A and B are shown apart, each in its own frame.
Chain A
Amino acid sequence: MTRTFRNRRTALLYILPALFLILSLVFLPIVLNLYNSLFRWNSFDAGRTFVGLEYYIRLFKDPVFYTALKNNSLYAIISLVFQVGGGLIIAAILEDKLIRRFQPFFRTVFFIPSVISIAVVGLLWQLLYNPEVGLVNGALKAIGQAEWARSWLGDSEVAIYAVVAVSQWQYTGYMAMLFLIAMQKIPFEYYEAAMIDGASRIKTFFNITVPQIKEMLLVGSVITVIGAFKVFDEVYIMTSGGPGRSTEVLGTMLYRSAFRNDEMGYASTIGTVVFVITLTLSLVQLKLGKSGQEV
């Protein structure tokens, strides 16, 4: 037995096909991206000129870059409040002994939007936000707040919030489900003890529920923030970064530089920035979480 499974060559035979694909299509491109960002080049021209760090300097002077950073950060903060904070409260209430009977129904319904593709959700919400036929303005009129109605995606003041709101609609139930799964592992005895002590719901929530699932809370927060810096689909579909450049995020900025303006070097620079940000956040998770992979 032991000898059979100590054979390194046999082991690698099983692992290599997967490892090869991951190395060549996930890791190699990261290295290439870094290299690409040092040249001026475009997609259909073989020639490239070495420009060193010129694009990095340009990026840090580009006002759109700061708009994008601001929008990504906004995405992260709002998602932390609604998806992590809101999801936590929803999960805690669904686990309450008085509500648990109804839990299967609510957790199923709340989760549904997260299985639909972001493309479908984006196109759907574009219609819902439509100033003429959309349900959003219709609903506002129905509850007597007609003055709040507006062209949600066409107004550069509110467009980014309208886009971020769609993600909250889509993923809050997903986060709630993750927290529910973690809460299922908390021993009943803890709650029974709290009940005997006469602790209130809010006390129980802060003294038992939250500390018991803090690992999942951390993982949930980190994947939410990383997700906020990876966003592309919904912004591209709903606004393409507009009106003006008001809803630009790093992902759409990269896409525009590469495939609209054909400045591949500049786009690669943005790619490097996305890489550094997501890598840093992942390392934070590894460092804070005991094992990082526990959940």
Chain B
Amino acid sequence: MTAKSNPIVKTDNVTEFRPGSPKLSMTIKNRIFQSAVLVWFSIFALVIIYPIIWLGLSGLKSNSDFFLNTWSLPEEWFWRNYKAAWDAGIGQFFLNSVYVTVVSVITVLLLGSMAAYGLSRFQFKGQNLVLILILSGLMLAPQVSLIPLYKLLQGFGLYNTYWALVLPYVAFQLPFSIFLMRSYFLSIPRELEESAIIDGCNTWKVYRHIIIPMGKPIIASCALLTGMNVWNEFMFALVFVEDSSLRTIPVGLMNLRSQLNTNFGIQLAGLAISALPMIIAYIIFQKQFVRGLTAGSVKG
């Protein structure tokens, strides 16, 4: 699986976790160690997961219930909080987020896979320079670009439109996706392409009918990681859009906080609505998430 003719990137695409080991004879010392760790980790797991469960449950409480019984289950299950949060603006923010995320992810996948194909299959002068340029985009802090981008977007009349979010998101997500896809494409055997070319296929057909189908696993991982980063992005969304009808969820939640003030039940319902898609996606697509992390470790 190791990539050949590959100047800076080396990636083994190990994605599966090892199976648990067979049954062992347990000494007393081992038993104590095991129990101690399990107790300790269970407390840990509780500290991590409890606030999230509390978030979901408190979103189902009436306000007085929330203040009086912080710890207990809801007295009456206030599903209408979720409805109220949705109507208070979360609905619009949610749809905006879906739109911006879908458009950004599709664009990143298309342009990213094309660039990764160009960089993994072709050999040309200046290739390394292009590669280094793209990959160094991985390291740059978005804050540095915040003000110039704000001015650029204003200058092109894109400020306060969906494009003001989509374009920067695509540009900032591309390097990582190209990095992941390129290393994966390099590991795809070339025999198939060679015979395709001999049969008269052009490079576009190779890309379309060989590289894309064979690269599906990494494309799925890129889609998930890009989608997660875009869905959760906050700073650009705060600065590049000012109409509340265009706001995405993270910034919309901030507005809702000042709007709803002390109506905590509805606020928490709003938080739950925006956190749930990612948690569900993660639990369903764990394998793809982990593959993405394996191939390149960069924190959002």
Contact = CB atoms under 8 A, between A and B. Distances in A.
Interface in B214-232: 228, 231-232
Contacts of B51: 124-125, 128, 135, 169
B211 to A, nearest CB: 11
Residue from the set A119, A135, A237 with the largest chain B CB neighbour count within 10 Å:
A119
A103 B17 contact: yes
Interface string B244-283: 0000011101100100000010011001001100110111
A280 to B, nearest CB: 11
Nearest to B154: A43
A114 to B, nearest CB: 8
Contacts of A174: 299
Contact of B232 (A93, A117, A291): A117
Residue from the set A103, A123, A125, A294 with the largest chain B CB neighbour count within 10 Å:
A123
Given A26-B172, A123-B257, A135-B54, A116 B278 contact: yes
Given A19-B134, A98-B30, A119-B251, A291 B10 contact: yes
B21 A19 contact: no
A80 to B, nearest CB: 13
Interface in B114-146: 114-115, 117-119, 121-125, 127, 130, 133-137, 139-146
A117 to B, nearest CB: 3
A185 B12 CA distance: 10
B296 interface: yes
Interface in A69-87: none
Contact of A19 (B115, B123, B124, B168): B115
A109 B268 contact: no
Contacts of A293: 8-10, 135, 179, 296
B115 A102 contact: no
Interface of B: 8-10, 12, 14, 17-18, 20-21, 24, 26, 30, 33-34, 37-38, 41, 44-45, 47-52, 54-55, 66-67, 70-71, 111-112, 114-115, 117-119, 121-125, 127, 130, 133-137, 139-152, 167-168, 170-172, 174-175, 178-179, 193-194, 197-198, 202-203, 207, 228, 231-235, 238-239, 249-251, 253-254, 257, 264, 267-268, 271, 274-275, 278-279, 281-283, 286, 289-290, 293-294, 296-299
Q: Which 3 A-B pairs have the closest CB atoms?
A: A14-B118, A117-B232, A119-B250
Given A133-B70, A233-B250, 17 more contacts: A8-B124, A17-B111, A19-B130, A22-B174, A22-B175, A26-B175, A28-B148, A29-B152, A33-B145, A33-B148, A97-B24, A103-B17, A109-B48, A223-B299, A229-B141, A230-B143, A293-B296
11 contacts: A14-B122, A21-B170, A21-B171, A117-B232, A124-B51, A135-B51, A135-B54, A181-B293, A268-B148, A274-B141, A278-B141
Interface of A: 1, 4-8, 10-15, 17-19, 21-30, 32-33, 36, 43, 90, 93, 96-106, 108-113, 115-120, 123-125, 127-128, 132-133, 135, 138, 169, 171, 173-174, 177-178, 180-181, 184-185, 201, 216, 219-220, 223-224, 226-227, 229-230, 232-233, 236-237, 250-251, 254-255, 258-259, 264, 267-268, 271-272, 274-275, 278-279, 282, 291-295
